[in-house]
Amino acid sequence: MTADRNVTEPIAEAGTSRTVADIAIVGGGLAGSLAAAVLAQAGHRIALIDKRAVYPDEFRVEKIGGHQLAMLRKLGFLDALDKVACRYDQVLNIRESKVVDVSVGQAYGFPYADLVAMARSQMPDPSGLIVDEVTAVSCSDDVQHLELASGRQVTARLVVLAAGMAGALAYKLGIRRRVLAERHSVSFGFTIVRQDGRPFDFEALTCYGERTADGIDYLSLFPVRVGMRANLFMFRDPTDPIMRELRREPEATLLRLLPGLRPYLGDFRVVDRVQNWVMDLTVVEGHLQPGVVLIGDAFQTNCPAAGTGVARLLVDVDRLCTEYAPRWLMTAGMGQEKISQFYSDRDKIAADQQSLKMARFRQALTSRNDIGWDVRRRLHFLRRSLTHRVDQMHPGWLGRVRGALRA
């Protein structure tokens, strides 16, 4: 059994181009890299397969906070995250130039590539990463076979698909993606600094949309190494001309959409490329198959504005890698009856359902203009103002915020 071995790296058979592992993970982004690290640290032979030795700086997860940190701590990654990310503890929340409340709690900002690199660095042996591309996979109730672009072969008892929405391999297995909401949301990411080079007068800031017609949920500003990272979340047609304007003239367009930002940002400029992402809400079908399991976005996509994607991913990694996969490896076979245990897990199902629920809630709260949702919006922000007291802020902010409240 796996628990009796003292090695974590996959075995390359002598004289062949075949690698033998307990678990082959396809996709070395955040989900796959975290899963590989957790399993390898537990003593399982892991083959993490990704075509990139160093993950590129993509616009994906860029901040983590709240209960997500508790899950990272449970999985053993929080100390490593603290070394590569920028911590912040207070978020100033504004709407229509007025302070709504102040959120207090530990959080981190980072480039996605740094987060993936951190996860990969926690693998006990870097040889577990195979820089290649899977071109074919054959799954059964016993052993799984993967063919790589280089001609190399990988044999494993379990295959974990963690390649996000890049579903060519899943498609070859007969797994299909069902669209629940096409072009559900649009997200933008860019980095800003003050023109005078000084730091902003806040640790982090969230500015909520002012009119339902604008389709803006919120702008989140939080620290990263090179400045203040901006994530803008919208429920709007991706072909709207405003999308092009945000890419071409981000400073002026942002202040036009959210004029209440001006007194908080002062003179600022965008210092990198404006990236954007159009997200469909999707789930997979036909995924219950022997020898293969899907995690993260490979199983279900999320609305970035809802902030549930990392939580879902961490639940998948935790339940699969600390509970089910180790138990499955202790007995022969890898049939559907084993795989179904993961998909039927109560925590996983709850996280998946909560993610879809929050996606629909954020869209309605942002865009619905009927009287019922107008009342709900007012109550939503009223509850927040009562829950988070402004006087919990850092003393350096307090005078400014009190002035904004009086205004």
Q: How many residues does the chain have?
A: 407
Residue 57 has pLDDT above 90, yes or no: no
> Which has more confidence, 324 or 97?
324
Band of pLDDT at residue 387, cut at 50, 70 and 90: low
Residue 11 has pLDDT above 80, yes or no: no
Strands (E), 292-363: 292-294
In sequence order, what are the residues at sequence separation of 6 or more whose Cβ sits closer than 8 angstroms to the Cβ of residue 393? 90, 92, 102, 401
pLDDT per position as a tens digit, 164-210: 866 788 989 999 999 999 999 999 999 999 999 999 999 999 999 98
pLDDT per position as a tens digit, 124-159: 999 999 999 999 999 999 999 999 999 999 999 999
Q: Which two tokens stand for residue 191?
A: 């980095």
Angle 287-289-119 from CA coordinates, rounded to 5°: 70
Q: How far apart are CA 340 and CA 323, in angstroms?
A: 13
Residue 389 CA: distances (Å) to CA of 65, 92, 104, 383, 402:
19, 11, 9, 11, 12
Domains defined along the chain, listed by start: 2-60+112-179+281-360 (3.50.50.60), 86-108+180-278+368-406 (3.30.9.10)
Q: What is the pLDDT of residue 115?
A: 97
pLDDT per position as a tens digit, 337-374: 999 999 999 999 999 999 999 999 999 999 998 898 88
Residue 399 has pLDDT above 90, yes or no: no
pLDDT per position as a tens digit, 268-326: 999 999 999 999 999 999 999 999 999 999 999 999 999 999 999 999 999 999 999 99
> Which of 362, 160, 177 is CA-nearest to residue 281?
177
pTM exceeding 0.85: yes
Contact between 283 and 150 under an 8 Å Cβ cutoff? The reply is no
Q: How far apart are CA 387 and CA 320, in angstroms?
A: 36
Q: Which two tokens stand for residue 385?
A: 């103002």
Q: What is the pLDDT of residue 168?
A: 82
Angle (deg, nearest 10), helices 371-387 and 346-367 = 110
pLDDT per position as a tens digit, 217-252: 999 999 999 999 999 999 999 999 999 999 999 999
> Which of 200, 44, 12 is CA-nearest to residue 124?
44
As to burial, measured by CB atoms within 10 angstroms (0-12 exposed, 13-18 middle, 19+ buried), residue 276 is middle
Which letter, b or e, does each residue of 335-360 get, where b requires 16 or more Cβ atoms within 10 Å of its Cβ? Answer: eeebbebbbebeebeebbeebbebbe
Contact between 309 and 61 under an 8 Å Cβ cutoff? The reply is yes
Q: What is the pLDDT of residue 9?
A: 63
Distance of CA 249 to the CA centre of its chain: 27
Q: What is the pLDDT of residue 12?
A: 65
Q: What is the pLDDT of residue 13?
A: 60
Band of pLDDT at residue 393, cut at 50, 70 and 90: very low
SS3 224: strand
SS3 60: coil
Residue 391 has pLDDT above 60, yes or no: no
Band of pLDDT at residue 98, cut at 50, 70 and 90: confident
Residue 323 is classified by DSSP as: I
Residue 68 has pLDDT above 70, yes or no: yes
**DSSP class per residue in 145-211:** EEEETTS-EEEEEEEEE--TT--HHHHHTT-EEEEEEEEEEEEEEEEEEETTSPPPSSSEEEEE-S-
Residue 2 has pLDDT above 50, yes or no: no
Q: What is the pLDDT of residue 229?
A: 98
